[in-house]
Copies of this chain bind each other. A is one copy, B any other.
Amino acid sequence: MNVECHNIIDNQMSVFSVLNADEKELLKRNSTCTYYKKNDIIYKEGDKPSGLICLSKGKVKIFKEGVGGREQIVRMAKPVGFIGYRALFAEQNYLASAEAIEDCVICTIEKETLFKILKTNYDLAFSIIRSLASELGFSNNRTVTLTQKHIRGRLAESLLFLKDTYGLEEDGSTIRVYLSREDIANLSNMTTSNAIRTLSTFASERIIVLDGRKIKILDFKGLERISELG
C-alpha cells in the first residue's frame, strides 16, 4: 500500500496535474512509500539518487558538511515538496544530506519511470527548469547574505526565512517549526553559542519571545530592519 504516493500524484495542485491517467498510473506503480522518524537520515552526501523523493508529511533539513565537519543547512523542505532532485537531474551523487526534523512520510518515484514521462511532457520539464532556476537564485542570495551580513542580520533573516517557509501557528506569531539552537546556528552560519546569545538578545529587545523551541515573533518590522541592515 502506498496511498500517500497516490495522493501526491493525483493532487490537482502538483506538477503531475499535467499528466494523463495512464501516465499517473505508471508513476504510481513505480513509487514506494517510506516512513522516517525524527532525526532519521533520508540520504547522505555521496549517495546515489534512486528516484524523485517527495516529502508528503513532516519537515526535512538539507545540509552540507564543511570545514571540520561543521554543518551548513542549505535548504529546509516542507510538504508537499521534492527533495534531492538537484542531484537526480544533474545526474550526480548527492552533494548534501537530508535529515528528518519531524516524523516524515516520503514517496519515492523510481528514476527511469520519471525520466520516461519527462521525455514526453514539456510542462513537467519546464516546471523542473523553473524550480531549479528559482532555487539557484535563492542559493546565490544566501551566499551573499551569509557572507556579508553580521550575526544579528543573519539570524533575523533566518527567522524570517523560517516564517516564510513554514508559516505561523494560529496565534499569528509563533513560527511553525521547532528547531534546536544548533540547527538555527547551522542555518545562519554561526556557532550554537552565538545563536543562543543572539536569540536571547532579540528576546530582551522584545523582538521575539522564546518558550523552549517555540519562537514567537513580536516585531516583524523590527526583524526585517535588522535583516536588511545586515
Contact = CB atoms under 8 A, between A and B. Distances in A.
A227 to B, nearest CB: 11
Contact of A147 (B89, B91, B128, B147): B147
Interface stretch (A22-30, A138-146, A202-210): A138-146
Nearest to A228: B67
Interface stretch (A52-60, A68-76, A102-110): A68-76
- Say what secondary structure dominates the interface of chain A: helix
Nearest to A65: B144
Interface in A132-176: 132-137, 139-149, 153
Give the contact-size bracket for chain A. 35 or more
Interface string A97-139: 0000000000000000000001110100110111011111101
Nearest to A141: B95
The complex is assembled from copies of this chain, and their number is: 2
Residue among A129, A135, A137, A230 facing the most chain B CB atoms (10 A cut-off): A129
A145 B230 contact: no
A169 to B, nearest CB: 30
B148 A70 contact: yes
Question: Lowest 9 CB-CB distances: which A-B pairs, in order?
Answer: A90-B133, A67-B230, A132-B132, A66-B148, A139-B139, A67-B148, A89-B133, A66-B144, A125-B125
